[in-house]
Chain A
Amino acid sequence: MADTLIRIRNLTKRFGDHEVLKGIDIDVRAGERIAIIGSSGSGKSTLLRCINFMETPSTGSIELDGVTLGRASDAARADGARTYAESELCSVRERVGMVFQQFNLFPHMTALQNVMEGLLTVKRRPAGEARERALRQLAHVGLSDKADAYPAKLSGGQQQRVAIARALAMEPEVLLFDEPTSSLDPELVGEVLRVIRALAEEGRTMLLVTHEIGFAYHYADRILFLADGRIHEAGTPDEVLKRPQQERTRSFLARFTEFGF
């Protein structure tokens, strides 16, 4: 299938004796928006972090735009582990942007410098061009007026929008959102979700780990419900969120529907 951007096969991840992911298969088509839900400890963040190799998968393979990443090491052929070169991972991360729960802005740089940083160091663009592109991205998230502000002077919502602009500036093919609103005060969640919604409407490929079930319902093409390191249930938002087939999914969702969503 030509338009499969990411193909994940039999992905596992273990930390010591604890197997967090127990064999995940996902195909992500270009332009697709996938929401990953599940309780904490289900492995959803780890799954996301394996896609841009913030965590190295224990076994299994990830294919990006038709190219399988890493190579099977001799010793590991039996168990399916692969080894990855640092240079390959850096170029993968350039193409797969990530937004973190804790924003992780660089505190010694202004909003503008944060957004420019990857363009200057990784993409080696001249300062003038980097600046122009960074300003465009800040405008995109509605923060043109905060270009010269340091992160400490910005609200959580503004910081997260700068972090989104920083990821966007690299012109990634895929965006990964790791619970982007979970550490925000409730009144700041909306501004961040609006930015993510606008990106979704532009047709960007994105994977979003979230507890915002309502948002996932309206803006995702597909929902993956993770439990115990496996994809327990997958399908359209209507299938998974309105007519879940699995008991486990139902009881997870009951927590959200209990007080209405």
Chain B
Amino acid sequence: MDYTWDFKVVADNFPVLLRGVGLTVELWAVALVLGVSLGFLISLGPTSGRRWLQLPAIGYVEVFRNTPVLVQLIWFYYAFPILIGFQLSPVAAAILGLTLNTSAYCAEIFRAGIESIARGQWEAAKALGMTRAMSLRRVILPQVGKRMLPAFTNRAIELAKVTSLASVLAVHEIMYQGRLLSSTYYRPLEILTVVALVYFVVIWPGSWLSARLERRLAARD
């Protein structure tokens, strides 16, 4: 192979790539925070013991888990506006799709976590006169946090990677910028390799921190 690497094109377009990284991180952070919060609310349905809350929540989770994220994103950008009567910006559609998708997975993580706590814990809290909400906040959730950490880490990593799909909606995140630059300069090898590296650099510290936290929490038992 006599390919001559030339990273000058990357250096020259560094500000463009940097803007892309900024938007990627933004998509990631916003969809993660909203997705986890919404996922928690949705998880209250299946764990409520009330059928009229259970069924819609389960349906929601199943729809988002059993269809491709790419289809969901494209649907929210091209199809959803027909229903609501106005066009969403690419970023808004991407955030909406990523948030709802993440919330479905997070609802499952919360549900499994909450259901893994022995019934006796609910009963002990109830026997003291605590309401369901109090029991959840003071007794149940503090115990599930640790158990759910690995699952949430996986979810966060997965989300960081699927933000790249927003490029098909012309959201100017790092993947979009990378594809644009590589077709402009015909240097896909350098540019896409750098894009992959950028994802790694953005994602890896998070998983490293989470693994450390997990070990520290485990040591506390």
A-to-B contact residues, CB < 8 Å:
52, 54, 86, 90-91, 93-94, 97-98, 100, 102, 104-108, 117-118, 121-122, 152, 163, 166-167, 170
Contact = CB atoms under 8 A, between A and B. Distances in A.
Nearest to A86: B131
A211 B120 CA distance: 21
A256 B26 CA distance: 70
Nearest to A97: B127
Interface of B: 118, 120-121, 123-132, 134, 138-139, 142-143, 221
B120 A100 contact: yes
B128 A93 contact: yes
Contacts, number: 58
Contacts of A152: 221
Contacts of A122: 128-130, 134
14 contacts: A86-B131, A90-B129, A93-B127, A97-B127, A98-B127, A100-B127, A102-B120, A104-B124, A105-B124, A106-B139, A107-B143, A117-B128, A121-B138, A163-B124
B117 to A, nearest CB: 10
Interface of B is mostly: helix
A90 B124 contact: no
Given A100-B123, A102-B120, A152-B221, A117 B129 contact: no
Contacts of B131: 86, 90
Nearest to B134: A121
A121 B127 contact: no
Given A100-B120, A102-B120, A152-B221, A93 B134 contact: no
A181 to B, nearest CB: 16
Contacts of A52: 127
A37 B133 CA distance: 35
Contact of A104 (B120, B134, B142): B120
A54 B123 contact: yes
Contacts of B132: 86
* Top 7 A-B pairs, shortest CB-CB distance: A94-B129, A104-B124, A118-B128, A104-B120, A98-B127, A122-B129, A93-B129
Given A86-B131, A104-B121, A117-B138, A93 B126 contact: yes
B120 A108 contact: no
A100 B129 contact: no
Nearest to A119: B128
A156 B33 CA distance: 41
Given A90-B130, A118-B129, 13 more contacts: A52-B127, A54-B123, A86-B131, A93-B126, A93-B129, A94-B128, A94-B129, A100-B123, A100-B127, A104-B120, A104-B124, A105-B124, A117-B138
